[in-house]
Amino acid sequence: VTLHLNPISSVHIHQKPLVFLLNSPLPLVWKLKTERLAPGIRRVFFVSLGSVVHFEKGNFSLSAETEEKFFPEKNEHLLQWAQKEYGAVTSFTELKISRNIYIKVGE
């Protein structure tokens, strides 16, 4: 699955840390494509067991962290866990089948 990340239209270059929980019932290869995300900013990608994140060439991967994590099985429990762990959830998306996911990050 390719995850496309770029800032909302009102933000020229996104310069804040991000945390993503990438959960799947089956192990996946997440391919990351980014636009206009500042280098050197901490970005964390938690993936379900057996999954990996592949970064585009460039320096984005130098400040990104990937960690396998056991997530709660049901989406309601995953959302509750994320809120408890991080204090807030700004976006939650569930897709049954997808090859491309487009996410706008920003304020």
pLDDT one-digit tens code per residue, 70-79: 999 899 999 9
Of 46 and 56, which is predicted with more confidence? 46
Amino acid letter, 102: Y
The strand pairing partners of 3, in sequence order, are: 32, 101
Q: How many domains does the structure of the chain reveal?
A: 1
Question: Residue 62: pLDDT above 80?
Answer: no
Domain range holding 65?
2-105
Query: Closest Cα to residue 11, out of 40, 45, 35?
Result: 35
Question: Tell me: the pLDDT tens digits for 11-26?
Answer: 999 999 999 999 999 9
pTM for the whole structure: 0.90
